Structure 1
Amino acid sequence: MPFSSSSAVSSGLVSWILALAAALAYALPALATQRLQERGAKRSLLVAWALHAASLVWGLAGHTPQFGFAPALSVTAWLVLTVYVVEQQLYPQLRSRWPLAALGSLAVLLAVIFPGTPLHVDASPWLPLHLALGIASYGLFAAAVVHAALMTRAERQMRQRGDHDGGLPLLTLERLTFRFVGAGFALLTATLAAGWFFGEALYGKAWIWNHKSVFSVLSWLTFAILLFGRRRFGWRGKQAVNILYAGALLLLLAYVGSRFVLEVILGR
């Protein structure tokens, strides 16, 4: 028993060290803007991204694997930053480093403060795949929201000044936004289908209509309407972005919102 307690303390200490190191690496470019050049800022973000990944792996594969609303947000933020790191190689003019670094710093600290609940050791071996599909859809929709926000900012700057600050062209941002929406929708569809048809094998019980499933289906319907409206009626601009935000909010409430209520407010 003392050994187990000592292991838990050691595991928690490592989690805090990794989280604090990642948060500091994310914050470093903002804290030392004058000293760091563009290359130094990129390197700091890459180091933070790697430390963030190590923190996630330690939390999910450590002595007592745990998961909850904050780790889900942390994985989502890491996936968005992964997309950004890749896109930076393709589109060097992409400018969203500071908001994403702030998001990563907050998410990695939140995950260590609220680590969630232990995962069941007797769960189906397919459960991790199901969770991975769901979190991946979260990440893709989050990336779509980030690109939609950049698109909205570019449109505002064009209306005010006639151009924007040298970031990605507006049409490129719009194309990327809906590519992420389409990919996220495909993964969300697969996640819901797996829960509907194989819920008993995955969770030991068939599909039930609770807050999580209702919000998940509502978000799926919202994204389906968005993609249909864009394809059939050419929806774009503010109208399309508002529907995207609504769908993303519903999806956020589906898992993160319900788990937040259970873990933090109700203490279960």
Structure 2
Amino acid sequence: MDNKGKKIEINKISQVATFDPDLTIGEVDRLLSLEGFLSGYCPLEGIQLNLQTCALQRKPNLYFLKYGGMEDLCTGGVFKTKAGKRIVLKHVPRSAAGADLKRVFIGSAEHLGQFEELTLKIFSIPEFEAWGVVFFEHERESLKFIRAIYSQGLRPLFLKIANDAECSGVCRSLNLMRNYECGVVIKLSGLKGMVQAEKRMIEQYMNIIDIHWTSRSAESEILEETIVNGESLTQVLSKTEALFMGTDLKISVPEKKLIHFIEKALC
């Protein structure tokens, strides 16, 4: 498949795709959607960013809870160092390939070079999506709820702790007769049966005061527009840092000494 000279190759069996890094995230998802797939990646700064920028700057993924960060999505590619050396990142288990060089290059901010190709995991377009607004008396109960569902293996596509003002705004937008101090807005996606099972798991949590589920397109659009944004991810990460340790919430550029060492090793 080609998009104005930009390459994209999809392996439907392995569910990976190789992309020209100049493609924007919006272009990637548009092309994947034609084949029934999506990337599972939405950078905080918008889908107008290209893959090269997202990989080299290791942009956090708004949907990291379900799909992981760029370093989790990337399975390989071709990297060209500043010295002109082309390095093929093999698509094999790390245990068989030695050092995982992709984690060196992702987030290197062009200090080491640039990607010529990127191979990423892709995912089937979900059969079903559902939004939920889960109400609590206090914010601390919201945090306990998030930790509880995460520890049980539930991976929502997105969630946000809404304060009193945000709760009121959401309730007004959805015409809900509620007046609670705090709530968690959560989005589930996947096979319909799995989403229904996840909803039942959430409903069994002890300290929920009330809950509202919706799959209606109009209500979903309202929540998408008012709740899903970069501030949401920053807020979730800052309040649950210990819980989500090891995800892409902390972005760092290699120290100059490390960069020099790697450059020498790759020459």
With the shorter chain as reference, the TM-score category is under 0.3
Higher fraction of strand: 2
Higher relative contact order (CA 8 A, sep 6+): 2
Larger helix percent: 1
TM-score, length of structure 1 as denominator length: 0.26
| TM-score of the two chains, using structure 2 as the length reference | 0.26
